[in-house]
């Protein structure tokens, strides 16, 4: 009977702790008129398109105003060259996407080849994101539970990001080929492991910040109900960590994409967007608009990854009222 009362008290304490930040958010300044739901849903898309249009206009403005040799201050180049080889017109780059990949008859359009390469990289980035989230969250739990672990592990987590991925690529590729795990170590697995090295860091830091964010009053309330650490974790710390964890997950998604692109270049894995960027760079003088196609694909890949993770927020809408910036 006492256990049931304590459990009910822990549940009520958890609900009260979660609702406390929300009450503070609701007490803030209120808008006079709320936007309709369709407008709110389309607003991020409209802002993104407006940003792309503004970027294209800025590109053309720089190309029109800056001399072809660029601007230099003494020996320092401030603005790049604006020749057609260095900065093709936006219309030329977009038109090149619809042209064939090669001059061979029946060749696929360039946009389709870029889309296939981006899809390959996206699948690897998804695996690396899952690995990074699992490792980062496990480290955050360890550092939250034990102060000694926080003092020992957190400096190593920060220090790990000073190691360049290019230095890790041959090591991971070599170790993977020597492992005996009952299956063949594929090149994409090395890419996923290397990319997860970038993805775990924001999750570890963001989750640690979120798991340690509950007020002392709320933690003492759980202690007064004789709640176990697991009950405090589920009822208090995990809900309180959501506003900090969601931005970290989005940052981890874009970091995973960046890591995949760099790892594909470093390991030489074909078929991905990173390898395509490296191969298409050879056409900079003969076909200047072509190298920009995989760059557009990489940007689109990052936006898709970040947007897919942002959908998690719809399932956690209750805890997003106090979401913080990454």
Q: To which residue do tokens 């360039």 refer? A: 110
Taking the CA atoms of 59, 60, 62 and 67 in sequence, report the sign of the dihedral they define: positive
User: Are 283 and 274 contacting, i.e. CB atoms less than 8 angstroms apart?
Assistant: no
> What pLDDT digit, counting tens, does each position of 246-274 carry?
889 999 999 999 999 999 988 888 889 99
> What pLDDT digit, counting tens, does each position of 157-188 carry?
999 888 888 888 888 877 877 776 777 788 88
Give the domain ranges of the chain. 114-319
Tally of residues, the chain: 326
3-state secondary structure of 109: strand
> What pLDDT digit, counting tens, does each position of 195-205 carry?
999 999 999 99
Residue 290: its pLDDT value, please? 92
Residue 34: its pLDDT value, please? 62
* pLDDT range class, residue 2, cuts 50, 70, 90: very low
The mean-pLDDT minimum among 2-6, 41-45, 100-104, 298-302 falls in 2-6
Cα-based distances in Å from 245 to 136, 251, 326: 11, 10, 9
Cα(281)–Cα(287) distance, integer angstroms: 10
Cα(211)–Cα(219) distance, integer angstroms: 11
Q: Which of 89, 90, 87, 96 is nearest to 114 (CA)?
A: 96
> What pLDDT digit, counting tens, does each position of 214-244 carry?
877 777 777 776 777 788 787 888 888 888 8
- Does domain 114-319 sit in CATH 3.30.70.20? no
């Amino acid at each position: 009977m006492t256990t049931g009362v304590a459990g009910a008290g822990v549940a009520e304490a958890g609900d009260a702790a979660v609702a406390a930040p929300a009450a503070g958010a609701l007490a803030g300044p209120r808008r006079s008129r709320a936007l309709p739901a369709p407008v709110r849903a389309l607003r991020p898309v409209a802002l993104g398109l407006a940003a792309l249009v503004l970027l294209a206009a800025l590109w053309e403005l720089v190309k029109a105003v800056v001399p072809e040799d660029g601007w230099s201050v003494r020996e320092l180049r401030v603005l790049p060259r604006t020749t057609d080889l260095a900065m093709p017109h936006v219309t030329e780059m977009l038109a090149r996407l619809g042209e064939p990949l090669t001059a061979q008859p029946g060749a696929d359009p360039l946009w389709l080849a870029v889309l296939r390469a981006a899809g390959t990289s996206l699948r690897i980035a998804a695996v690396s994101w899952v690995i990074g989230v699992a490792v980062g969250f496990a480290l955050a739990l360890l550092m939250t539970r034990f102060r000694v672990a926080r003092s020992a592990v957190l400096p190593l987590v920060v220090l790990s990001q000073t190691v360049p991925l290019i230095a890790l690529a041959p090591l991971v590729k070599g170790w993977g080929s020597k492992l005996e795990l009952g299956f063949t170590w594929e090149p994409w697995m090395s890419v996923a492991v290397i990319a997860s090295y970038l993805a775990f860091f924001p999750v570890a830091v963001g989750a640690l910040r979120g798991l340690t964010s509950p007020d002392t009053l709320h933690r003492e309330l759980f202690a007064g109900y004789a709640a176990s650490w697991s009950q405090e974790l589920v009822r208090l710390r995990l809900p309180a960590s959501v506003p900090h964890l969601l931005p970290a997950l989005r940052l981890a998604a874009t970091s995973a994409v960046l890591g995949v692109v760099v790892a594909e270049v470093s390991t030489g894995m074909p078929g991905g967007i990173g390898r395509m960027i490296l191969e298409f760079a050879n056409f900079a003088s003969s076909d200047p608009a072509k190298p920009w196609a995989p760059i557009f694909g990489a940007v689109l890949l990052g936006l898709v990854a970040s947007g897919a993770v942002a959908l998690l927020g719809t399932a956690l809408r209750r805890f997003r009222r106090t979401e913080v910036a990454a």
